[in-house]
Amino acid sequence: MDRLPFNGDRWQSSLQWQPTDPQQQRFQQLYEAILAANQQVNLTRITTPEDFWEKHLWDSLQGVAPWLSDPQASATGLKVVDIGTGGGFPGLPVALVFPHWAIALMDATRKKLTALESVCESLGIANVSFLPQRAEQVAHQPTHREAYDLALLRAVGPVNTCAEYALPLLKPEGQAILYRGQWSSEEEAGLKAILPRLGGKLRSVRSQTTPLTQGVRHNVVLTKVERTPDKFPRLPGIPAKTPLV
């Protein structure tokens, strides 16, 4: 099986952090297990060691960079939900690096989550749980509504759709990190216009360049400042089909 690059200097210069040897071994195990599962279920098209390193490992972890370089914060047990985790990104690399966090991996496609369950079982990843449902349903269940410190969303649709999925799940003061590629002032204006209706606020937009291929990344960080009205998220399918404007 191909070896992932270590790229310690690239981690260090971009995120002021680098994996320990045991963490690097866990990354290698994750890579091998995801590729094996990918034979049965379509989890990812990113399969070469360099691509996997940059687009799955590095990219998943750059979104939580503020916690990586803060040992005290990473020792705190956060409740995290990865909405639309697909092949387990960003949730699985985050689970490996933050063993004290409890990560719920959510995806509407049950067979992807079943495959991830086997991956986690074979690797002994214990700080994860599985929610094979749509965000619009989970967010109305009392055990999940306003229950999370942190929501992560990568590649699950327009930014206003992501905000509608994430904010109802957050505790007051909780944060959502929306992993985006390009980011425009129009998108930002459109997002700011709807956040008050969801009880959210734009906290920051951080930009990053991917270390191997110089791709553009933005992390759009939302904070929950007020309770989200019960009518959100709207019925399944509506937030994606008709994002709030």
Binding residues (CB under 6 A) for ligand SAH: these are: 83-87, 89, 106-109, 112, 134-136, 154-156
Name residue 37's beta-bridge partners: none
Most distant pair of Cα atoms in the chain: their distance: 50
Give the integer Cα–Cα distance in Å for 35 and 12: 27
Please report which helix (H) or strand (E) contains residue 48, including its range: none
Is residue 168 reached through a cis peptide bond, with omega within 30 degrees of 0 on the bond before it?
no
Residue 122 beta carbon to ligand SAH: minimum distance, rounded to whole angstroms: 20
Q: How far, CA to CA in Å, does 18 sit from each of 9, 54, 61, 62?
A: 8, 14, 11, 11
CB of 172 or CB of 181, closer to ligand SAH: 181
Shortest Cβ distance from residue 21 to ligand SAH (Å)?
26
Residue whose CB is nearest to ligand SAH in the complex, by number: 86
Instruction: Output the smallest distance, CB 192 to ligand SAH, in A.
Output: 23
Nearer to ligand SAH, 194 or 225 (CB): 194
Phi and psi based region of residue 178 (left: phi greater than 0; alpha: psi -120 to 50; beta: remaining): beta
The neighbouring-strand residues paired with 80 are 103, 150
Q: Which is nearer to ligand SAH, 146 or 225 (CB)?
A: 146
In the complex with ligand SAH, the residue whose CB is nearer, 87 or 174, is: 87
Taking the least distance from each CB to ligand SAH, the nearer of 133 and 225 is 133
CB of residue 214 to ligand SAH, shortest distance in Å: 19
Radius of gyration, CA atoms only, the chain: 17
